[in-house]
Amino acid sequence: MPGFVNAHTHVPMSAFRGACEDVKDRLLRVLFPLERDLVRPGLVYRSTLYCLAEMALSGTTTFADMYYFEDQVAAAAETAGMRALLGETLIDLGSPDAPCFSDGLAYARDFVQAWKGHKRIRPCLAPHAPYTVDAAHLGVIRDEAERLDVDVMLHVAEMDFENRQFSQSHGSVMKYLDSIEGFLSPRLLAAHMLYVDDEDIALAKSRGIRVAHCPASNAKSGRPICPAWRLARAGIPLGLATDGPLSGNGMDMQGVLNIFPKLQKVREGRREILTAREALRAATLGGAEALGMGAEIGSLEAGKKADFILVNLDDFNMQPVYDWYSTAVYAMRPHNVESAFVEGRQILSERRMTGFDQDEVMAEMMRIKGNCSAFIADIVTKLADG
Ligand SMILES: [Zn+2]
């Protein structure tokens, strides 16, 4: 079958998976301090390789990522042989790889220029969110994306405080973004889209934006269910995504694909909507369309790139098969994936990565964990102290 397309993630965060779970305001109280002190190029490269192994082992062949030191993510994707849309994250207050916005923009520009034209790795710009990048900077990014002819990735309408802020000022987060002329455009890949109503969906469609839907990570955060079925029904390109390993934990697309139609059926209160075939489309061709790669990958068709996986049917969870789509969506698990190919080249062979030594990458992660443990324990203590 076609390889899965993971339409939104932050792969280097595999280093922090499982740290400080189940706390309020985790982004501001845990994640930002963690990143400021621990994220360095070496950690990004090694944690990415680790995460790419987990993704390929569960059948993902293409992913969209936004993080810091994104050049290291690109280098790791190159080593693994995977296909990717990669955005250097931009944030007003500075980041682990840039002390201020303009330095971040310069870093992003260099990153785009270094990787543009690569046959599997497509660089882009990734402003973090409407609440961390102001309107003037979003305008600068819009112009820069136009000049460089690249995509823009952004978290949209994910947070309750973000929704409150922009609903008060502009009616909704989407309406606020639309007030920045030309920002909502076919270049934009919007992740999440939780706080959107039918008017926002119509606006998204009319501006030609694309959406990455992260049902498992959103559910874990206790957020509203994205109206993904309605977005897809409106004709908006819709892909599925794990989100980062800190918020989504499992990096396998099966976990996401399994919960996606279930949550939509719950949200709409209708069993018959979102068939297994439609769900699987979102994890493959829909994701390819969301990444602007629909003409190249996402389905097994003559003329497309040979990105595909081999799945072992000879297992207790896979039989009997009456409907291939139902099996792939509801029964298949990561361990059923046997091999993966990207652009005709085998990147996973009988559950071993061909591009690097996965045992060495596992050992490296144990060393990273050793280095991060004291810092994470310190945050846990601070959280306990309130
Ligand atoms: Zn994200």
Q: Which domain holds residue 200?
A: 4-384
DSSP string covering 223-286: PPPP-HHHHHHTT--EEE----TTTT----HHHHHHHHHHHHHHHHT-TTSS-HHHHHHHHTHH
And the tokens for 77? 């994707």
Upstream peptide bond of 130 is cis (omega within 30 degrees of 0): no
Q: Which pLDDT band, with edges at 50, 70 and 90, does 229 fall under?
A: very high
Ligand 1 centroid from CA 192, angstroms: 8
Ligand 1 centroid from CA 206, angstroms: 24
Ligand 1 centroid from CA 322, angstroms: 36
314-354-112-241 Cα dihedral, nearest 10 degrees:
20
Q: Is the pLDDT assigned to residue 362 strictly greater than 90?
A: yes
The structural domain count of the chain equals 1
Beta bridge pairs of residue 156: 192
**DSSP state letter for 98:** B
pLDDT digit string (tens) for 40-84?
999 999 999 999 999 999 999 999 999 999 999 999 999 999 999
- pTM metric for this prediction: 0.96
pLDDT at 233: 97
Ligand 1 centroid from CA 247, angstroms: 8
Ligand 1 centroid from CA 79, angstroms: 23
Residue 145 phi, psi (nearest 5):
-65, -40
pLDDT digit string (tens) for 4-17?
999 999 999 998 88
pLDDT at 31: 82
Ligand 1 centroid from CA 9, angstroms: 6
pLDDT at 383: 81
Q: Which pLDDT band, with edges at 50, 70 and 90, does 375 fall under?
A: confident
Residue 98: CATH number of its domain? 3.20.20.140
Ligand 1 centroid from CA 210, angstroms: 15
d(C-alpha 141, C-alpha 139), whole Å? 5
pLDDT at 379: 82
